[in-house]
Amino acid sequence: MCGIFGYCNYLVERSRGEIIDTLVDGLQRLEYRGYDSTGIAIDGDEADSTFIYKQIGKVSALKEEITKQNPNRDVTFVSHCGIAHTRWATHGQPEQVNCHPQRSDPEDQFVVVHNGIITNFRELKTLLINKGYKFESDTDTECIAKLYLHLYNTNLQNGHDLDFHELTKLVLLELEGSYGLLCKSCHYPNEVIATRKGSPLLIGVKSEKKLKVDFVDVEFPEENAGQPEIPLKSNNKSFGLGPKKAREFEAGSQNANLLPIAANEFNLRHSQSRAFLSEDGSPTPVEFFVSSDAASVVKHTKKVLFLEDDDLAHIYDGELHIHRSRREVGASMTRSIQTLEMELAQIMKGPYDHFMQKEIYEQPESTFNTMRGRIDYENNKVILGGLKAWLPVIRRARRLIMIACGTSYHSCLATRAIFEELSDIPVSVELASDFLDRKCPVFRDDVCVFVSQSGETADTMLALNYCLERGALTVGIVNSVGSSISRVTHCGVHINAGPEIGVASTKAYTSQYIALVMFALSLSDDRVSKIDRRIEIIQGLKLIPGQIKQVLKLEPRIKKLCATELKDQKSLLLLGRGYQFAAALEGALKIKEISYMHSEGVLAGELKHGVLALVDENLPIIAFGTRDSLFPKVVSSIEQVTARKGHPIIICNENDEVWAQKSKSIDLQTLEVPQTVDCLQGLINIIPLQLMSYWLAVNKGIDVDFPRNLAKSVTVE
């Protein structure tokens, strides 16, 4: 939900001004992940001192705050580590005191930025308060900073001068919940710790010299380490170990391969990370950019390393070390440094006023990219590289369960029927949170499909873990390469829509829709009986990018409708049936989240079962009346509306005689869109609704990229 950014320069001289600007700019690119408050921590003027700047509101407010505090921007640092954060409140109001970085004490000995939630923070807080620590915020994060200080002091008193990563291992042992975490301390100058569990983190590397190898070795405690000492048990009391942790700790002590003693690993402190070795062994100037999202790193470097859960990265002396607390059978011994294929221009607004508008207009291109290299239109073949090898297993599934949240859930609803039709496998579609609440039975011969733009949504991720534990095959349909869902699923498809920054999901929806249709087509490519239907759909897909371009031309009319008839309305109904029910739900969600207008997607067949009572001459209604086999039923539903003096706006196909005739006698308007195959029509029909939600919001003066109470990536339950 929040955004993390860190910047370390080693033997690359930077002024404080440059360091501040780099951190603030990094935050600006993360703002879409959370934006109710921001903050940075950098080195102060005295040795051992830290400057923390925080502000409520957007990054621009933080910039003003820093200017007001007027730090000396000209001081230079040959080596330095700074950390930064943009927050979306989960614990504590958006107040200055709750902004990150959070600190251990008024001297700022340890400062921490954190994404995620520490679930046992209340217990930790109570214990720390009992030990005399004074808390100043309502955040769960503050207990991490205080825990660092407490464990640092206790160990020092016991004669253990711990390395920063060893100290961090002790801290992590106490934490339950999820985190992406950066810590900086005056006791470890020019060093930073980055660690994650259930919250993404990546590290960009920038160096003039070529890296020796394109990976970093993972470092483990020595196998034959002796019985670990338990520094936390000063006073013969374990410090707040939860039962699970205590068990792990005990097991670790017996197996002698769990953490936490300094001496066990002391030699590792001096092992060098091969990637950062220069030819002659001399130190190499290097910069590191740590972030929760590639969007803030790509400006500086395209060489990035994705941390895995429980990785503990320690950056110091121009080196990056990755530690893990224990060896796991079959786990990778290295982390590769990959090259990002993302251009900065891709994440900039270009000529558009908002990212949402840009992303709506990108859809001819993003939908094309989803299909690029995957569909052979000449031979009517679909090849999804990420699924090819898995198709025989998936075809044998007893059922497909599609699991997602929000817009991603709607893309599943939109394609469920075509999956069932083409694969003859029963398909259920689940909202991730409800699926988990019900503890839905899942079996080894189920195939579970997880759809997510960000690949980080907590509910979807939890459902994924639930299905993995039950032995089901898991498939991801994900936009963000390197995201948790993309990495944890057995196989999947990257939708290749490019970064989506606007909180309202638009281009991800159309690309997910297409990726799912391609998945369904792949499942049926061994079926002779489905050949004609497959050809019809594949040829339909080919035309989609061009047809979306055509619908976008409706913008001036839609803009006018939003400024006239739909202006100042309190509520809006969207009617759809069959394939268009998902479009009605998705359109209603867009309108709600961006323009704050109540809006409801209604299955047209359900009108007579209750909703009709709402209809009168005042309630605005939009109905999907495009052609498919259910067309006569849709016409009849719309007649029920007009009979109650409703005057709907009909989204219909171009030159449709039926609507042309009806508009002569009934009070209705039409928005004409191109016709395509029934199962693809939803791709076209959603575009006018995206535009409508955009203009309803802009007309009200709402910042559509930052709707109230919402964040782009929902990484809490």
Determine the 3-state secondary structure of 5 from DSSP.
Answer: strand
Applying CB under 6 A, does 486 fall inside the site for ligand UD1?
yes
**Omega cis (within 30) before 101:** yes
CB under 5 to 8 A by kind: which of ligand UD1, ligand M6R, none does 503 bind? Answer: ligand M6R
Determine the residue type at 39. G
Residue selected from 19, 24, 436, 478 as contacting ligand UD1 according to rule CB under 6 A: 478
Alpha carbon distance 704, 713 (integer Å): 16
Q: Which is nearer to ligand M6R, 190 or 411 (CB)?
A: 411
Q: Which of 155, 407, 457, 489 binds ligand UD1 (CB under 6 A)?
A: 489
**Which residues are registered as beta bridge partners of 87?**
37
Among residues 69 and 379, whose Cβ is nearest to ligand UD1? 379
CB of 591 to ligand M6R, least distance (A): 11
Q: Give, for 4, the enclosing helix (H) or strand (E).
A: strand 3-10
Q: Output the smallest distance, CB 430 to ligand M6R, in A.
A: 13
Quick check: 406 binds ligand M6R (CB under 6 A)? yes
Residue 494 interacts with, from ligand M6R, ligand UD1, none (CB under 5-8 Å by kind): ligand UD1
**From candidates 81, 83, 112, 405, binder to ligand M6R by CB under 6 A:** 405
SS3 692: helix
Q: Tell whether residue 503 is a contact of ligand M6R (CB under 6 A).
A: yes
**How far, rounded to the nearest angstrom, does the alpha carbon of residue 353 sit from its chain's CA centroid?**
23
Binding of ligand UD1 by 481 (CB under 6 A): yes
Q: Could you tell me the maximum CA-CA distance found in the chain, to the nearest angstrom?
A: 91
In the complex, the smallest distance separating the C-beta of residue 572 from ligand M6R, rounded to whole angstroms, is 17
Q: Which two tokens stand for residue 575?
A: 């009617």
Segment interacting with ligand UD1 (CB under 6 A) among 26-34, 125-133, 478-486, 707-715: 478-486
Nearest approach in angstroms of CB 223 to ligand M6R is 40
- CA-to-CA distance for 423 and 427, rounded, in angstroms? 9
From the list ligand UD1, ligand M6R, none, which binds 653 (C-beta under 5 to 8 Å, kind-based)? none
For residue 40, the number of C-alpha atoms closer than 13 Å in the C-beta half-sphere is 28
Closest approach, Cβ 713 to ligand M6R, in A, equals 6
Instruction: Return the bridge partners of 288, or none.
Output: 8, 205
Judged by beta carbon distances under 5 to 8 A according to partner kind, the member of ligand M6R, ligand UD1, none in contact with residue 504 is ligand M6R
Closest distance to ligand M6R from the beta carbon of 693 (Å): 9
Partner from ligand UD1, ligand M6R, none contacting 630, C-beta within 5 to 8 A by type = none
Lay out the site mask for ligand M6R across 450-469 (x = CB under 6 A, - = otherwise). --xxx--x--x---------
Sign, CA dihedral 9-11-16-22, equals negative
Helix (H) or strand (E) run with residue 192 in it = strand 192-197
Q: Does 676 bind ligand M6R (CB under 6 A)?
A: no
Measured in whole angstroms, how far is the alpha carbon of residue 613 from the centre of its chain?
A: 40
Q: Tell me whether residue 197 or residue 494 sits nearer to ligand UD1 (CB atom).
A: 494
At position 196, the amino acid (one-letter code) is R
User: Exactly one of 6, 204, 492, 601 binds ligand UD1 (CB under 6 A); which one?
Assistant: 492
Which one, 413 or 485, has the nearer CB to ligand UD1? 485
* Residues labelled as active-site residues: 2
Residue 481 binding partner per list ligand M6R, ligand UD1, none, with a CB distance cut-off of 5 to 8 Å that depends on partner kind:
ligand UD1
The dihedral through the CA atoms of 469, 473, 479, 481 has a sign that is positive
Alpha helices in 53-141 (DSSP H): 59-69, 121-130
Considering the rule CB under 6 A, would residue 385 count as an interface residue with ligand UD1? yes
CB of 516 to ligand M6R, least distance (A): 13
Nearer to ligand M6R by Cβ, of 291 and 454: the residue is: 454
Contact status: 505 vs ligand M6R (CB under 6 A):
yes
Question: Cβ closer to ligand UD1: 199 or 452?
Answer: 452
116 belongs to the binding site for ligand M6R (CB under 6 A): no
Record the tokens describing residue 373, joined without a space. 């290299």
User: How crowded is residue 211: how many other Cβ atoms within 10 Å of its Cβ?
Assistant: 18
The item of ligand M6R, ligand UD1, none sharing an interface with residue 460, based on CB under 5 to 8 Å by kind, is ligand M6R
Q: How many residues does the chain have?
A: 717
Please name the amino acid found at residue 365.
E
* Residue 508 · residue 495 · CB < 8 Å: yes
Question: Which of 654, 651, 419, 675 shows the shortest CA–CA distance to 543?
Answer: 675
* Residue with smallest beta-carbon separation from ligand M6R: 406
Among the listed residues 199, 408, 496, 580, the single contact to ligand M6R using CB under 6 A:
408
DSSP states of 413-468: HHHHHHHHHHH---EEEEEHHHHHHTT----TTEEEEEEESSS--HHHHHHHHHHH
Contact track, ligand UD1, 425-464, x by CB under 6 A: ----------------------------------------
Of 67-75, 107-115, 475-483, 707-715, the window that binds ligand UD1 (rule: CB under 6 A) is 475-483
- Cβ(168)–Cβ(127) below 8 Å: no
What does the buried/exposed string (b/e) look like for 286-303 if buried means 16 or more CB atoms within 10 Å of the residue's CB?
bbbbbbbbbbbbbbbbbb
Residue 600: DSSP 8-state: E
Round to whole Å and give the CA distance between 710 and 708.
Answer: 6
CB of 394 to ligand UD1, least distance (A): 12
Q: Which does 385 bind (CB under 5 to 8 A by kind): ligand M6R, ligand UD1, none?
A: ligand UD1
501 contributes a contact to ligand M6R by CB under 6 A: no
Beta bridge partners of 113: 182
Q: By the 8 A CB rule, do 35 and 169 touch?
A: no
Q: Which of 485, 561, 686, 698 binds ligand UD1 (CB under 6 A)?
A: 485
Which of 114-141 are b and which e, b meaning 16 or more Cβ less than 10 Å from the residue's Cβ? Answer: bbbbbebbeebbebbeeeebeeebebbb
d(CA 83, CA 8): 9
User: Which listed range, 286-294, 398-406, 492-500, 695-703, lies at the site for ligand UD1 (CB under 6 A)?
Assistant: 492-500
Return the number of the residue (340 or 552) whose C-beta is nearest ligand UD1.
Answer: 340
**Where does this chain bind ligand M6R (CB under 6 A)?**
405-408, 452-454, 457, 460, 503-505, 589, 593, 713-714
- Return residues touching ligand UD1 (CB under 6 A): 385-386, 476, 478, 481, 485-486, 489, 491-494
